Amino acid sequence: MKNLQTKNYELHFPVQSDVDILFRYRSNIEIAHSEGRIPDKSRQETAKFLTQLLSKIDAGIVNYWLISDHTKNHLGGISIWGFNQEKTEAEVGYDILPKFQGKGVISEVFPEIEQYAFTVLKLQKLSVYTSKIDILSQHILRKNHYRLIEHWIEKNLKGEPTDMFHFAKTIEEYQK
């Protein structure tokens, strides 16, 4: 895994000292709600999450980057994870602090992650799962030519029913 860069953003993999950065959005109520999880209440919870994340990165189970602008404002994170057994398919997930949402961060960063997934990791298919209420993500996915694969209702981590969409793109669609 390597650090990545776009015109306006830097993507770097986390280190143990990034607990405070991760705590900002792991404890954010809006982000936790959109992910269907309970927000972290302490830095210790986030430190435990970070330790597990770093272990998964080391094991090659997850590729995760923290996103910051060139003035070192930390904006969120983006990951490639959920690999199938053959490591030919995976999922992209991302979270951006609310004050930076809708400002084009993911629109700029997403193609870089997509390129990394298809050219460096040699994936054949990328999937993104998003809730029906996340209109911004749906717009980004459609703009990047992801196809809507399915729609269903599932219970989130808090046990609440959530409308979900599955979007995907294959290597062939990426190369067009």
**CATH number where 100 lies:** 3.40.630.30
Burial of 67 (0-12, 13-18, 19+ CB in 10 A): buried
- Read off the pLDDT of residues 140-157 as tens digits, 9 standing for 90 and up: 999 999 999 999 999 877
pLDDT at position 158 over 80: no
- Tokens representing 112 are 């870089």
Would you place residue 24 in the very low, low, confident or very high pLDDT band (cuts 50, 70, 90)? very high
| Tally of domains in the chain | 1
At residue 143's C-alpha, the angle toward residues 141 and 146, to 5°, is: 45
Range of the domain at 70: 4-175
pLDDT at 122: 97
- Read off the pLDDT of residues 107-147 as tens digits, 9 standing for 90 and up: 999 999 999 999 999 999 999 999 888 899 999 999 999 99
At residue 41's C-alpha, the angle toward residues 76 and 162, to 5°, is: 65
Overall average pLDDT of the 10-26 stretch = 94
pTM: 0.91
Pairing label, strands 63-69, 89-96: unpaired
**DSSP secondary structure letter of residue 42:** S
When the pLDDT of each residue in the chain is averaged and rounded to a whole number, the result is 94
